[in-house]
Amino acid sequence: MTPNIIERSEARRDRIAVIAPEGVFTYGDLLDASAVVATRLLAGRDDMEGERVCFLVPPGWAHVATQWGIWRAGGIAVPLATSHPPAELAYVLDDAQPEVVVAHGELLGRVTESAQDRGLTILQTEALVSLGPTGQLPSVDAARPAMMLYTSGTTGRPKGVVISHANVTAQVESLTTAWDWRDTDQVLLHLPLHHVHGIVNILTSALWNGAICEILPRFNPVDVWERLSRGDVTVYMAVPTVYRRLIDAWEDADAPTREAWSAGARACRVMISGSAALPVPTLERWQEITGQRLLERYGMTEIGMALSNPLEGERRAGHVGRPLPGVSVRLVNDEDEPVEDETQGNIQVQGPTVFAKYWNRDAETEAVFTADGWFRTGDQAVVQGGAFRILGRTSVDILKTGGEKISALEIEDVLRGHPGVTDCAVVGVPDADWGDKVCAAVVRTPSEAVNHETLRAYAKERLAPYKVPKEIRIVDALPRNAMGKVMKQAVRELFEVTEEE
């Protein structure tokens, strides 16, 4: 990864690479700054030899230069979530056991005490990413680890996913082919940079291809619309929650503003949604507003992207398309035997994009790979007309009630079709009679007066009796992580607390 992207960037020194809150920077600026960072991290050594560097840096120029500097020094980049409280950051420091912690001045207070308690050196980006001498940098083999990203923690404590330079290269090359990345592209980035979505799908894919990555310091719906309205952004990626907020902002705007915003969005050559299931009403409303039919894809930290709707051709609502170039995907039963089309199965993935191990978790690594090397994603799907339809996490979204297996995502799609529902999450709560009692947390549309009974009646008209939620609770908002994924365990606890009371 490192030698290839460096060589590719050397040929583009004078081209703009990054537009960030700190300014406009060329590929030459990025190469020079990252070389300084690498030299300072090496501190006289020939090679960091896989030492971890945890860095807490907001999205922007300093973040990119720091990440590239760690790679070029032979270290493993461990980006920390800027949204996490000190306790969560301390957990990663304990697990990753870094050699050094890099922090931006405005975030230094979040991590100083934890780093000092563990005897870790702290470097500030303001000093690290500045002009200075550069030394001889190591040659980094593609098989070596490039970064360690922590899982969302939706099904347990976060695990460090070790991703090699070869993995990143394979992921980027696959997306380049599938989504036709080109050096004339300009992409807008406001997603967190501690997840594969922001790091690989957007930032690294853009820089690999000589495109421009424009980084916003934070997501604000009006700021994003105003930026899109200029008509020069060609690629845009976000999570379903963001698209919903953009729709809300558009509907709150006056007619001339709406027209300008919609025109700018229509100029994009592709708009992509991922990291969580895209509700069909959101897909359809976005198309009405912008003319853009969102391209939905499926992936996860351990595998990068595996499935995608086509750049050209039909993008089926509720489906995530076919395997990406270089990626093998199969559906199997609980005995790891392939199932036929139209049959529900467990998703397994194989190929050069797939990670090798969890950090310091040999038993857990062994458990997620089959004997012949397929990665068990923990998700279930069905293939319909050649396209995959995700049914949900095996342990979270596949419920068993009254002896019947059902998909929580299917029930959520139905409930979201009600005009009084803005969003919802369906979970299974342990029940002596049912096994999993189907429960739904619903965010109500302010202008609509819906309640438990009206929603159950609506569901009964559209779902088999055993799929209709036994309990529905109206909430102000659903608990989500930084990537917009609903934290199902937190939703389940809403109903467990109710029962205890």
In a domain? residue 341: yes
DSSP assignment of 435-476, as one string? EEEEEEEEEEPTT----HHHHHHHHHTTS-GGGS-SEEEEES
Count how many domains the chain has. 3
Give yes or no: residues 435 and 372 share one domain. Answer: no
Residues 6+ apart with CB under 8 A from 360: 95, 160
- Give 500's pLDDT tier (boundaries 50, 70, 90): very low
Tell me which residue range forms the domain holding 403: 398-500
Q: Does the pLDDT of residue 155 top 60, yes or no?
A: no
Q: Are 436 and 430 in contact (CB under 8 A)?
A: yes
In a domain? residue 190: yes
- Give 156's pLDDT tier (boundaries 50, 70, 90): low
Give yes or no: residues 387 and 241 share one domain. Answer: yes
In a domain? residue 216: no
The pLDDT of residue 362: 95
pTM of the predicted model, to two decimals? 0.84
Give yes or no: residues 17 and 150 share one domain. Answer: yes
Beta strands in 12-51 (DSSP E): 16-20, 23-26
CA atoms in the 13 A half-sphere facing the CB of 368? 21
Burial class (CB in 10 A: 0-12, 13-18, 19+), 218: exposed
- Give 430's pLDDT tier (boundaries 50, 70, 90): confident
Give yes or no: residues 255 and 361 share one domain. Answer: yes
CB count within 10 Å of CB 233 equals: 22
Q: Are 83 and 192 in contact (CB under 8 A)?
A: yes
Looking at residue 474, its amino acid is: I
Give yes or no: residues 255 and 131 share one domain. Answer: no
- Give 152's pLDDT tier (boundaries 50, 70, 90): low
pLDDT digits (tens, 9 = 90+) for 442-475: 999 888 888 999 999 999 888 878 889 999 999 9
Helix (H) or strand (E) holding 493: helix 488-500
The pLDDT of residue 13: 97
Place of tokens 């980035």: 189
Place of tokens 């089309």: 341
Give yes or no: residues 352 and 406 share one domain. Answer: no
Give yes or no: residues 176 and 254 share one domain. Answer: no
- CA gap 75, 445 in Å, rounded: 48
In a domain? residue 430: yes
Least confident of 31-45, 315-329, 412-426: 412-426
CATH number at 40 reads 3.40.50.980
Phi/psi for 218 (5° steps) reads -165, 165
Q: Is 363 helix (H, G, I), strand (E, B) or coil?
A: helix
CATH number at 351 reads 3.40.50.12780
- CA gap 20, 22 in Å, rounded: 5
pLDDT digits (tens, 9 = 90+) for 181-206: 999 999 999 999 999 999 999 999 99
- CA gap 255, 269 in Å, rounded: 24
Give yes or no: residues 146 and 78 share one domain. Answer: yes
The pLDDT of residue 1: 41
In a domain? residue 7: yes
Of 393, 426, 441, which closes a domain?
393
The pLDDT of residue 139: 94
Give yes or no: residues 412 and 388 share one domain. Answer: no
Give yes or no: residues 408 and 444 share one domain. Answer: yes
Of 147, 178, 196, which closes a domain?
196
The pLDDT of residue 498: 54
In a domain? residue 459: yes
Give yes or no: residues 302 and 179 share one domain. Answer: no
In a domain? residue 204: no
pLDDT digits (tens, 9 = 90+) for 266-311: 999 999 999 878 888 899 999 999 999 999 999 999 999 999 999 9
Of 393, 421, 445, which closes a domain?
393
- Give 398's pLDDT tier (boundaries 50, 70, 90): confident
- CA gap 468, 303 in Å, rounded: 34
CA 371 remoteness from chain centre: 28
Q: Does the pLDDT of residue 233 top 70, yes or no?
A: yes
In a domain? residue 422: yes
Q: Which two tokens stand for residue 407?
A: 């998909």
Give yes or no: residues 272 and 405 share one domain. Answer: no
